[in-house]
Amino acid sequence: MIVAETADKIKRMEIRGAGRIARAAAEALRDHALADRATTSEAFRHDMELAASTLLRTRPTAVSLPNAVHMVMAGIERAKTADEAKAGIVSRADEFVRSSQHAVEQIAVFGSRHIRDGDTILTHCNSEAALSCIIAAHREGKEIEVFATEVRPRNQGLVTIRTLNDAGIKTNFIVDSAVRSFIHDVDLVVIGADAVTVNGAVVNKIGTSQVAHAAVEARVNVMVAAETYKFAPRTTLGELIEIEERSGSEVLPDEIAKTLPHVTVRNPAFDVTPAEYIDLIVTEKGAIPPQMAYVIIRDYLGWEIGEFSAVLGTGGFSGA
Ligand code: RI2
């Protein structure tokens, strides 16, 4: 029930943003474990695996989701009784939520160092991690101004401008197609990530690659803010990140679409920005050039893939 509700909210994007999705999934698994009545560790594991797969099916692109689920599910390993397994899930989930929140705070500290007094920043979509850097720079007394895009079709830009406004940051709100018109007024692009591949490509909200392309052409630096659990261990074997394609009705109302039988609405939610378009990825462990993404995967997530223990690696989720 708890898991089904959370899964539904994630699917409908009532809960959205890669970090928030991951924390909501960890919390749902914890609450599911606490409510579970299984008396053997096998039965408990079975219930939890069903819950985990319900959550994993919600949104395919944000790697934070499987990484969080796998990390929490590793709490079952080595448990001999249902109670031990339950305790394992609860402590792993709490640890994940704590370290995820701490990661955003740490990213703000590292990321704001790359924002200079007087900078004009462009951001796309609504990223908690990216905004944390911008808000930290503002709180440090740096005079900054932001361009925020609208982000069709779900208009996450509205959430971004409200947050920036509430922080007292001077903000310009522009349609997505105006990025190239304003890029020469911009000193730095700061964006989030839904996934980072082993070769440093960043999967983020649709339109990000156009923003980065315009920035590279105008010699404007691009900084990505991404927690280590957004890095994708599976890509070490060349697996591509699946790009979620959402309903066309998010772009064009059904009443209009049905009058246009020859028109198909395409609505990919994310795109891929190659590493060459990115100058820096700021994680809670420090800032790296995108070409060093493999180090994060090796040192903090582990190379192994597939099983529920896959992302534990060398224990990099200790909260930094
Ligand atoms: P944080 C969002 O996806 C955006 O693409 C955003 O850039 C990214 O997650 C990271 O957000 P969506 O859920 O985790 O809006 O930094 O599709 O908040």
Task: Write down the mean pLDDT value for the chain.
Answer: 93
Collapsing DSSP to helix, strand or coil, 288 comes out as: strand
**Average confidence (pLDDT) over 81-110:** 97
Give the span between the Cα atoms of 147 and 55, in whole angstroms. Answer: 34
Active-site residues, by number, are: 125, 194
In the block, residue with structure tokens 């597939």? 306
Band (pLDDT 50/70/90 cuts) for residue 238 is: confident
Per-residue pLDDT, averaged over 1-12, amounts to 94
Task: Name the residue of 15, 58, 106, 127 to mutate for ligand 1: max ligand atoms within 8 A of Cβ.
Answer: 127
Dist CA 162 CA 80 (whole Å): 49
Query: φ, ψ for residue 137 (rounded to 5)?
Result: -60, -45
Say what percent of the chain tops pLDDT 90: 90
Q: Quote the ligand 1 centre to 124 CA distance (angstroms).
A: 10
pLDDT at 307: 39
| CA atoms of 310 and 301, how far apart (whole Å) | 8
Nearest atom in ligand 1 to the alpha carbon of residue 131 is 16
Instruction: Report, as an integer, the average pLDDT of 172-199.
Output: 98
Tokens 């924390």 belong to 23
Q: What is the pTM of this model?
A: 0.93
Q: Which one is predicted more confidently, 76 or 302?
A: 76
Q: How confident is the model at residue 69 (pLDDT cuts 50, 70, 90)?
A: very high
Q: What is the DSSP letter of 204?
A: E
Number of H helices, E strands in the chain: 11, 10
Asked if 52 and 80 touch (Cβ cutoff 8 Å), the reply is: no
pLDDT higher than 80, residue 309: no
Q: Which of 23, 194, 203, 284 should be mutated for ligand 1, with most atoms under 8 A from CB?
A: 194
pLDDT band at 304 (very low <50, low <70, confident <90, very high): low
**How many angstroms separate the Cα of 33 from the Cα of each of 8, 47, 51, 312, 319?**
18, 9, 9, 20, 23
Say whether pLDDT at 43 is over 70: yes
Which residues form ligand 1's pocket by a CB distance below 6 Å?
Answer: 16-19, 125, 127-130, 156, 192-194, 204-205, 269
Q: What is the per-residue pLDDT for 1?
A: 67
